[in-house]
Structure 1
């Protein structure tokens, strides 16, 4: 500061300092800039369990058949014979099919073939897309994202479970009830 400015400040006396302090008091405490809050993604819940008879009973929409899968290019991986627990002398078969990386196991009796288990890792085929829609609907019903989803029917007989990766189903297991 120049000597003239210092002399002017001193000549104003103590009131100059008081005025400066008073004006600071009226202005309030010094303000600090507000911090911005960054929205952090909510991590998915570990496991969501729900009961839904329709979703657990018909996860693919229409029930898949061995004929439909074979026509679509599935190949037979194995056949295993076993005695029927209810019909003496009847031999049934466990038929395992592979289709586009997905595996299906059917319990085959003379009068019908029932899906016993399915492991889906490729959701591109039509049945995989229907299953993905079912799983997406179930996660919406649970109110958010889940790392794993388990869907059961009321009797807890039919089960569908799925593991999610980045919000999309990665692996799904379908296990309908069989006696």
Structure 2
């Protein structure tokens, strides 16, 4: 009695046992968190001292800053007094100071290089503001309660790319 064709081997016994069937591995897709367009924070400390300690022209000049321009103008409060707008460039960053005979006040700063110490402190300020807003932001704006001091920044891939600091000046 024949049970089937003869192949010269017993196929039913010569098969190798395979392991359990494999299931395709799940791919985890990292989803990019879409940052909010603009986050606005009111914080007197962050807006008033974005670099931590106040930057001075002497510090910047000692660190290698170059004088880009000097512009004289009449003081609107003191008749006959001439003041100066001094612009400094340091490692790609630009600082503008309003210079009176007795003091020099930061008028504006544009930061694109966050490697110097003041840039790292500014980055910490921006990160603190982002945390206060609960997450990532494409742009950050920090103001004080009087809306006089302003810090604004644009972020690229979660890191500050450009920051503008504009303290209040009369």
Q: How many residues matched?
A: 145
User: What does 1:28-107 correspond to in 2, within 5 Å?
Assistant: 38=29, 40-107=31-98
What is the aligned counterpart of 2:129 among 127, 135, 138? Answer: 138
- Counterpart CA distance in 1 for 2:28 and 2:95 is 49
Shift in Å, 1:39: 5.5
What is the aligned counterpart of 1:152 among 120, 139, 143? Answer: 143
CA deviation string 1:87-145 (max 9, x = no partner): 00000000000000000000000000000000000000000000001101110110000
CA deviation string 1:125-168 (max 9, x = no partner): 00000000110111011000000000000000000000000000
The structure having more radius of gyration, on CA atoms, is: 1
Structure 1 pair 101–37 and aligned structure 2 pair: CA distance change class (3 A): closer
Shift in Å, 1:36: 8.1
User: What does 1:116-135 correspond to in 2, within 5 Å?
Assistant: 116-135=107-126
Higher helix share: 1
**TM-score, with length taken from structure 1:** 0.79
- Give the corresponding residue for 2:164: 173
**TM-score, with length taken from structure 2:** 0.83
SS in 2 for 1:172: strand
5+ residue gaps, structure 2: 1-25
- Counterpart CA distance in 1 for 2:29 and 2:53 is 45
- Counterpart CA distance in 2 for 1:118 and 1:37 is 43
Shift in Å, 1:41: 2.2
Q: C-alpha root-mean-square deviation of aligned residues, in Å? A: 1.3
Shift in Å, 1:40: 2.3
